[in-house]
Structure 1
Amino acid sequence: MSSPADRADHRLPSLTGLRCFAALAVFVYHAVIGPRIFLQPVFDDTTLFLFNAAGLNSISFFFVLSGFGLAWSARRREPATRFYWRRFLRIYPSHFVVCVLAIAAMLVTGATFDLHHVPEAFLLLQPWLPDVASSFGVNGVTWSLGCQAVFYLTFPLLFPLVRRIAPNRLWAWTFGIVALVFCVPLVASAMFPTGPPLIWLDMPAQQYWLVYMCPLSRLLEFVLGLLLARIVRVGRFPAIRPWVAWVGLALGYVISTFAATSTYSLVAVNVIPVLLLIGSMAERDIQGKPSVASRPVVVWLGQLSFTFYLFHRIVLENVIGAFGFTYHWTVPAAIGAIALSLAMTLLLAWNLSTAVEKPFYRRFGRSRAPVTPAPA
């Protein structure tokens, strides 16, 4: 078994590649659940039923992976202010540009939006608002960036605590946090036993907000990512093949699909399979075994996942809106519109990454002084 220090030196390309598949799943989810453009009701309802859980599970994957990635690449003795500045540069310049473009698109197309949603969107305050409709204003997907901002804010406080946990107690802490994830729906049902349902899902809106969007609830998945990184680093992740994790994820997907009206389907059902998938793929990279997710083109697409995520819903709404949401879409026309949206989103994501995301970070984010790697 390699030492923790040796393990920390390994790059984990498969985890970057998995971001590509997760971002694509979110795209398909919004393509199906948002515009509802398929003409035949049976086909429309079927696609909605099949892909409803895709976006939900992918967001959980991103949140756990965020904690894992930060813990894996943590720098020793880096001031908190420096860490915050680097995280700001990773997210905000691209977020700002896309928000401006989203507002411009709405002004050009005549789409209606509330002005009070604009500062909430720019400042990433949406997930703190129990009004779900307000949380999706301007660029609806950026509510998750509001959660990420909380993760980054708490990382310099949480990671030193996770580092102090004895290796033989890491799994106990992990199971404890997983138990808390399963407790969140109970708290939500106790706090909001009734209420107006969501438009797209037969579930009380405030329960949905507390379980799925509230940053404090989603912080648990981020902490699980921190714990998982330490488990892998100290060599205590079990010898689980990735296909076992994929089977678990598929089983969780089926459960969350058929139990869509339960708040447990939003996060809890798939949190364990997500942990197993990330851990097993990381172990595969450490052992030098190739995978589909580690192929260069997949890794490249995974590197574009953030800017792709920022653009995808705006592109879908504008491509489909150009023909009219009441247009009598046939199945081939609907699939063609989705394919066109996918190509345009990828092109815009590549341009934003090369013109804004990477240049800003290279110019302002790199430390001028050498940094000591994270300790074992």
Structure 2
Amino acid sequence: MTGLRAVAAFLVFSYHCTVLSVFADTGVQSGHALVAYHAGHMGVSFFFVLSGFLLTWSARPGDRLRRFLRRRAFRILPNHFVAYVIALVLLLAAGETIRAGSAVTTLFLVHAWIPDAQLIGTSINGVTWSLSVEIVFYLLFPLLLPLVNKIRENRLWYALAGVGVMALLVPVAALTFLPGQPPGPFSPDMSWPQMWLTHFFPLARGMEFLTGMVMARIVLSGRWINIGIAPAAVLAGLDYLLSLQLPTIWGFAAIYPVPISFVIAAAATADARGRQIWLNSRPMVLLGDISNAFFLLHLFVILNVHAAVGGEWAGNAAYHRQSWSTPVGVLFLLGELLICVLLSWLLYRFVEAPAFRRWARPRRRESDMAPGASQGTSRVPAVSP
């Protein structure tokens, strides 16, 4: 399942590469943009579903809320702070004006909670809106897990279908009840309120997280239908092709969670049975390990490397874009990918991994207390790193 994180990160990377416009051939550039149009959205949805699955899959009785939140914090925050500083320096070097509201809300990862297009559009590191959403998932997980665990095993598939329907109802609600104005700054074919609800609002994106939780219970209860990874991947691929035919508002998240959960369940089953497949090969596991760092670094790295070719700073993507022949453009994108992987490995090796080892768990073992002890700490299942 670690290798799946690398796949999701690559989907996001491929989507963001379309904004570089590196192909001089307009047909090739249009084809690249068309094929990868929703790849980033599917990749983020993959992360959200996988997060819910992994937290539920690795949950163990007896852990405490404090320990759980501490592990989550030291898994994501060290990388976030380092990437934040680098992105801020690059923006200042480009002469960008830093809005105090954007700087503060990005630093504390709350910008996706607020329906303000400027806060998200001028955030210090554009990709961190998804971390802002993930934090809400982590806070809700101790409340959601007991509810998910109460679902009877013979009703788990009905629950999965129900969550899938709820995800589909989010864009329906946005189009029905939210105003069509003002226009969205990121997608002109919908209003900003409609985009915020379907793309950024943490509780709406929670349908993906909840899908992962329910699917984890399906697998753990032995009720998975044993579809292999290849058929599950074909199903997800067909789902992606469908998203390219639908209005943009459907391609953010609504149609992905259930097919993605099939891929994750198939991979988890392969892991549990000890099957050796390409996803659990050493290179893929390494790429999965550095995926958090890769996700945080890749956007401002690819923009600034591209801008540097023309002797510019990228700023908020406001620079003259260089384009080349198709072979050179492909080589340039591969070079961008290699640079991102190397920088992500450095961030993982010297920041994320040592910070997690040093601070994710208390040095002294906390005493085990029965539920309802006088200290009053909540008990939640453990979550592995």
- Tell me the TM-score normalised to structure 1 length: 0.90
Partners of 1:66 and 1:315 in 2: CA distance = 25
Determine which of 361, 365, 373 is the counterpart of 1:369.
365
Identity of aligned residues (%): 36
Partners of 1:229 and 1:250 in 2: CA distance = 21
How far is the alpha carbon of 1:90 from its aligned partner? 0.8
Q: In the alignment, which residue of structure 1 is the partner of 2:3?
A: 17
Partners of 1:238 and 1:225 in 2: CA distance = 16
Partners of 1:220 and 1:144 in 2: CA distance = 14
Q: In the alignment, which residue of structure 1 is the partner of 2:244?
A: 257
Equivalent AA in structure 2 for residue 217 of structure 1: A
Task: Give the direction of change, closer, same or farther, for the CA distance of 1:327–1:161 in structure 2 (3 Å limit).
Answer: closer
How far is the alpha carbon of 1:280 from its aligned partner? 1.3
Determine which of 196, 200, 208 is the counterpart of 1:209.
196
Equivalent AA in structure 2 for residue 329 of structure 1: S
For residues 28-47 of structure 1, the aligned pairs below 5 Å read 28-32=14-18, 34-47=19-32
Q: In the alignment, which residue of structure 1 is the partner of 2:291?
A: 305
Q: In the alignment, which residue of structure 2 is the partner of 1:270?
A: 256
Q: In the alignment, which residue of structure 2 is the partner of 1:229?
A: 216
How far is the alpha carbon of 1:340 from its aligned partner? 2.5
Task: Encode CA deviations 1:89-115: one digit per residue, 9 max, x unaligned.
Answer: 111111011101100111123244423
1:116 maps to 2:111? no
Q: Tell me, yes or no, if the aligned pair for 2:298 and 2:340 is still in contact at 8 Å.
A: yes
Determine which of 18, 36, 58 is the counterpart of 2:43.
58
How far is the alpha carbon of 1:328 from its aligned partner? 4.2
How far is the alpha carbon of 1:250 from its aligned partner? 1.1
How far is the alpha carbon of 1:133 from its aligned partner? 4.3
Structure with the largest fraction of helix? 1
Q: Tell me, yes or no, if the aligned pair for 2:180 and 2:190 is still in contact at 8 Å.
A: no
Partners of 1:109 and 1:343 in 2: CA distance = 24
Q: In the alignment, which residue of structure 2 is the partner of 1:140?
A: 126
Partners of 1:134 and 1:45 in 2: CA distance = 30
Could you tell me which runs of 5 or more consecutive residues in structure 2 were left unpaired when the two chains were aligned.
313-318, 369-379
Partners of 1:56 and 1:319 in 2: CA distance = 23
Partners of 1:337 and 1:284 in 2: CA distance = 35
How far is the alpha carbon of 1:39 from its aligned partner? 2.6
How far is the alpha carbon of 1:18 from its aligned partner? 1.1
Determine which of 342, 352, 363 is the counterpart of 1:357.
352
How far is the alpha carbon of 1:232 from its aligned partner? 0.6
Partners of 2:331 and 2:231 in 1: CA distance = 35
Partners of 2:366 and 2:102 in 1: CA distance = 42
Equivalent AA in structure 2 for residue 35 of structure 1: L
Q: Tell me, yes or no, if the aligned pair for 1:131 and 1:206 is still in contact at 8 Å.
A: no
What is the alpha-carbon root mean square deviation over aligned residues?
2.1
Partners of 1:158 and 1:340 in 2: CA distance = 42
Partners of 1:328 and 1:264 in 2: CA distance = 32
Could you tell me which runs of 5 or more consecutive residues in structure 1 were left unpaired when the two chains were aligned.
1-14
Q: Tell me, yes or no, if the aligned pair for 1:184 and 1:217 is still in contact at 8 Å.
A: yes
Task: Encode CA deviations 1:134-164: one digit per residue, 9 max, x unaligned.
Answer: 2141100000000110010011111122122
Partners of 2:30 and 2:188 in 1: CA distance = 12
